[in-house]
Structures are given as C-alpha cells and as structure tokens.
Amino acid sequence: MPEYLLETKNLKIHFPVYGGLFRRKTGKVYAVDGVSLKVKAGETVGLVGESGCGKTTVGRAVLRLYELTGGDVIFEGKNISGMSESEIRPLRRNMQMVFQDPFESLDARQTVGDILEEPLIIHGIGSPSARRKEVENLLSRVGMTESSITRFPHEFSGGQRQRIGIARAIALKPRLVVCDEPVSALDVSIQSQILNLLLDLQSEMNLAYLFIAHDLAVVKHISDHIAVMYLGKIVEYTDADTIYQKPLHPYTKALISAIPVPDPSVRNKKTVLHGDVPSPSHPPSGCSFHTRCPVAFDRCRTDEPELLPAPGTEGENHLVACHLVNS
Ligand code: SF4
C-alpha cells in the first residue's frame, strides 16, 4: 500500500489567453503553478485561499478534469497524469467530487432516485432491486428519508440538496472526495450540520477529503493538515492546530486575523490586506504576495521564496514560502 492515497508533484495548470482580431494566443493564466500536496487515506487536507488563487483548479486537476500543463498526479500509487480518459474511468470510482452549488450540479430533470442510481448503472453495479435498496441506504446515510426518491432537486432546501450531492459522491464508495467549497453557499446554521455529516461519513468509510474553502474558519474543525494557497502556489503547509496557533506566513496571519471571534469582549487585532489579488496572467515578480504584504522588503520584489521547512521544524511538518521566515 502506498503511504499516500493522493500526491501531486509540482502540479501546473496554465490556461491560454486568446485575443486580437484573429484570436491568437496572447498569454497564459498561471492558475496553478507548482503545487505539491500529499493526502493519506482517511485524512482531510484543507486547501484555503482567496477566490482566484487556483484552489478549485487544483481540485479539478486532481480528478483529471483538466489536462495538466506540468507535474504529476499520483493516485493509489499510480501516476495518472498521462492516462487517457478510458484508462482513468475505472479509477474515477474511487475519486469523487462534492460541488459548491448543489443546485447546479444536480440534474433538475432527474428525480433524486435517478440521480443516485445513475453512477451505479454507469459502473454496472447491482440489479435494479439491489440498486433501489442501495439508493435508500445512501439517503439514510445522509439523513434523508426514503420519500425523497421520487422528488426533484428543486423541492429541497440548499442543505438537503447538498446532502443529496454528498450521497451521490459516496454512491460508489470512493476513497477520495474533493469537496469544492461544499458549505459556502449555505446558511451558517446549516454549514455545521453538513460538516458534521462529512466527518461522520469519513469515520464510517475511511474517506480522504481534499477540502477546498476560501475561509480558514470553515476548514478549522475538519482538516488534519492545511495548505494555504496564494496566486497558484502553496505559501504555507502544516497541521491544522499549528496553522491556527503559530501561523508564520504573513498571508496566513492575515487570513487568521479575519476569522470572526464569537466573544464580543475579545478584540481581535486584524491585519487588513490592501488591494486585490493580482491577475494570475501577470503574477508579480519575486514573492507574488509582495504587492500586498505588510512586511515586504527589497528582496521580496526580486527573489521568489521557496517552500521550505520552517526554522526549528523537522522534515515537511511545517513548510513556508517567505524570505522573512526562512532567512
Ligand atoms: Fe512578505 Fe516578503 Fe515574506 Fe513574501 S517573502 S510574504 S513579501 S515578507
């Protein structure tokens, strides 16, 4: 058994930009630019960053929904980077996705029963009666009643639709689920129910999650390890406790300072980041965060920092890409 269920090595996804009268290629968007990640069976790795940092593209690239520009994706010990669609299809059973907007990801013309039975039919699993039983079982696992089978997605609330999306994702008993902002579109009161459901399913089924979110508060309770992304690169990676208690990268510190504190008597010292995330088609020179970093200095504008073990740490337990930390 390989040590890691999923590994990405120096993963790159660059999208061409076309322009002008003849729609010629005029540039590239560096959506993902050298991301290396490791996920063990049964664990959750949170992938966090502002919108446009490339985290969703990483999630989709892992499932090979995009052609890779460079690097490798290794799943269950097999390098799937150069595999054809027909070679990947049998592996897809073990790697599934939960989407941000369950309404868009569920076919509005299908009943819930059909939506959940479809992956079983595609993979030739069970007789019609066995599949019906499995659909009932899936619904009960995600806290939905059997009567949902004949109803359509629009008849459910956002939280219930996300439960249906999760039931579909686990229908084939996968080993890895990429959760792409699965609670961002839901009310705060529903978010924790969905997160608890994901945690319960993880312990029942030994699922691994690559959990994508724009907000560190959401990944706090679900993640074992957290990778913080900025402009297509990982800038800090460590275990979930360390990232909250001892963040080292100035960008991680800013994200943590933005988490609301429930006790109004506790005043949180906020680091306000000025300006927008630069365009990934024209990433800044040197450290890509230098245009917004409150502690940037000369070297940051010219030299790109490497993702290196933080001083005083061992192996790859805490990695940071910052000249200030690693000097
Ligand atoms: Fe800030 Fe420089 Fe560190 Fe980048 S390398 S995060 S600009 S201090």
Distance 323 CA to ligand 1 centre (A): 6
Q: Which residues pair with 46 in a beta bridge?
A: 211, 226
Query: Is any ligand 1 atom within 6 A of the Cβ of residue 220?
Result: no
Q: List strands edge to edge, sheet with 70-75.
A: 24-39, 6-19, 70-75, 78-79
- How many CA atoms, within 13 angstroms, populate the side-chain half-sphere of residue 156? 24
Distance 61 CA to ligand 1 centre (A): 28
DSSP H or E segment with residue 257:
helix 250-257
Average pLDDT value for residue range 118-126: 93
Query: Is any ligand 1 atom within 6 A of the Cβ of residue 230?
Result: no
Mean pLDDT lowest among 38-47, 183-192, 267-276? 267-276
Per-chain mean pLDDT for the chain: 92
Query: Is any ligand 1 atom within 6 A of the Cβ of residue 287?
Result: yes
Tell me the CA distances in angstroms from 292 to 92, 247, 289, 296, 306, one per residue in order. Answer: 39, 17, 6, 8, 18
Distance 284 CA to ligand 1 centre (A): 12
Query: Is any ligand 1 atom within 6 A of the Cβ of residue 235?
Result: no
Distance between CA 165 and CA 104 in Å, rounded? Answer: 10
Q: Is the pLDDT of residue 50 over 80?
A: yes
Confidence band of 263 (pLDDT split at 50, 70, 90) = low
Distance between CA 225 and CA 56 in Å, rounded? Answer: 17
pLDDT score at 218: 87
- Burial class of 248 by CB neighbour count within 10 A (0 to 12, 13 to 18, 19+): buried
The SS3 of residue 131 is helix
Average pLDDT value for residue range 121-137: 95
Average pLDDT value for residue range 142-168: 95
Handedness of CA 287, 290, 292, 296 (dihedral sign): positive
Long-range contacts, 270-279 (Cβ 8 Å, 24+): 277/50, 277/51, 277/52, 277/53, 277/230, 277/231, 278/231, 279/29
Distance between CA 274 and CA 289 in Å, rounded? Answer: 11
Distance 235 CA to ligand 1 centre (A): 10
pLDDT score at 259: 80
Confidence band of 266 (pLDDT split at 50, 70, 90) = low
Note the helical H segments in 79-176.
85-92, 102-105, 112-122, 128-141, 158-170
Cβ atoms within 10 A of the Cβ of 90, count? 9
- Out of 231, 251, 295, give the residue to mutate to test ligand 1, the one with the largest number of ligand atoms within 8 Å of its CB: 295
Q: Which residue has tokens 């939280």? A: 159
Distance 211 CA to ligand 1 centre (A): 26
Write the residue with the smallest CA distance to atom 3 of ligand 1.
322
Q: Which residues pair with 233 in a beta bridge?
A: 230
Radius of gyration of the chain, Cα coordinates, nearest whole angstrom: 21
pLDDT score at 89: 87
Query: Is any ligand 1 atom within 6 A of the Cβ of residue 273?
Result: no
The SS3 of residue 34 is strand
Contact between 78 and 87 under an 8 Å Cβ cutoff? The reply is: no
Query: Is any ligand 1 atom within 6 A of the Cβ of residue 295?
Result: yes
Q: Which atom of ligand 1 is nearest to the CA of 294?
A: 1
Q: Which residue has tokens 């705060």? A: 188
- How many CA atoms, within 13 angstroms, populate the side-chain half-sphere of residue 267? 1
Cβ atoms within 10 A of the Cβ of 92, count? 20
pLDDT score at 265: 62
pLDDT tens profile 60-85: 999 999 999 999 999 999 999 999 98
Query: Is any ligand 1 atom within 6 A of the Cβ of residue 201?
Result: no
Q: Which atom of ligand 1 is nearest to the CA of 290?
A: 7
Q: What are phi and psi of 268, to 5 degrees?
A: -90, 125
Q: Which residues pair with 18 in a beta bridge?
A: 25
Q: Which atom of ligand 1 is nearest to the CA of 297?
A: 2
Mean pLDDT lowest among 31-35, 115-119, 215-219, 273-277? 273-277
Average pLDDT value for residue range 306-324: 93
Q: Is the pLDDT of residue 286 over 90?
A: yes
Confidence band of 206 (pLDDT split at 50, 70, 90) = very high
